[in-house]
Chains A and B, each alone.
Chain A
Amino acid sequence: DSGVTQTPKHLITATGQRVTLRCSPRSGDLSVYWYQQSLDQGLQFLIQYYNGEERAKGNILERFSAQQFPDLHSELNLSSLELGDSALYFCASSVGTGGVYEQYFGPGTRLTVT
C-alpha cells in the first residue's frame, strides 16, 4: 500500500457526461500528479500540482481540468467524455516537486465511457 488513495475505483458513464476523480496524497506529500494509462498510449503524464499551485502540464486535453485543495487532496475533472477517454487514471504524490523526489502511485480509477 503506497499510502495514496483514489476514489472511485471504477466509474462507468456515458459519452458527453462529466466525472470527477479524487485523490488523497500520502501524509506529508505536497505534490500531486495525474497520469492516464491506456493500452495504446501507455502511461502518460497529465498534470502536476504542488501545494495548491499548478506546476507542470503534459498533454492534458482542454476538456480535462484539475485542482489541488488546501488540505492537499486533488480532483481531476473530465467533461464531454468520449469513448477514447476510457482508461486507467492514476494519481501519484511526492514530498517535493521535481525529478529528485520519488513518486508513489495510488491504485487508480478505471473509467469506462459507453
Chain B
Amino acid sequence: QKEVEQDPGPLSVPEGAIVSLNCTYSNSAFQYFMWYRQYSRKGPELLMYTYSSGNKEDGRFTAQVDKSSKYISLFIRDSQPSDSATYLCAMSGLYAGGTSYGKLTFGQGTILTVHP
C-alpha cells in the first residue's frame, strides 16, 4: 500500500463547477500538506500549503486537512478552463525528536479537465 493515495481520475467538470480533490495517507508522521498543480510538460507549481489540521483559503482555492482521518482535500470554486491540469497532493513529516525533513511524498495526481 502506498503512503499517499490519490484518485487519478480523470475528472471532467463544466466551467463554474466546484471541484473537490482528495488524498488519504497512512503515515502519522506527516505534518505538512501541500497541493501542487502541474500543467502538461511543466514542473509542479505550489498552490497551497498547510501545517497540521485545519482549513486554509486562497482566492478560489480552499485546502482542508483532517489528521484524525488522515484525509486532505482541495476545493476549487468557480472552476475555469485554465484550471485544467494535474493536481498533486504532497506531504512531509518529522523525524523522531521533532526535526522536520524536506522529502515530499506525492500522490499519483488527479487529472482535471474544466470544459467551457
A 49-95 contacts with B by CB, 8 A: 50, 55-56, 58, 90, 94
17 A-B residue pairs with Cβ-Cβ distance under 8 Å, sorted by A, are A42-B107, A42-B108, A43-B90, A43-B104, A43-B106, A44-B106, A55-B102, A56-B102, A90-B43, A90-B44, A98-B101, A99-B31, A99-B100, A100-B100, A103-B46, A105-B46, A108-B42
* Chain B binding surface, main DSSP class: strand
Bound Cα distance from A81 to B107, whole angstroms: 26
Q: Which residues of B contact A104 (CB under 8 A)?
A: 46
Is there contact, CB below 8 Å, between B108 and A99? no
Q: Which residue in B42, B90, B102 is a CB contact (below 8 Å) of A31?
A: B102
Residues of B at the A interface (CB closer than 8 Å) are: 31-32, 34, 36, 41-46, 49, 51, 88, 90, 92-94, 99-109
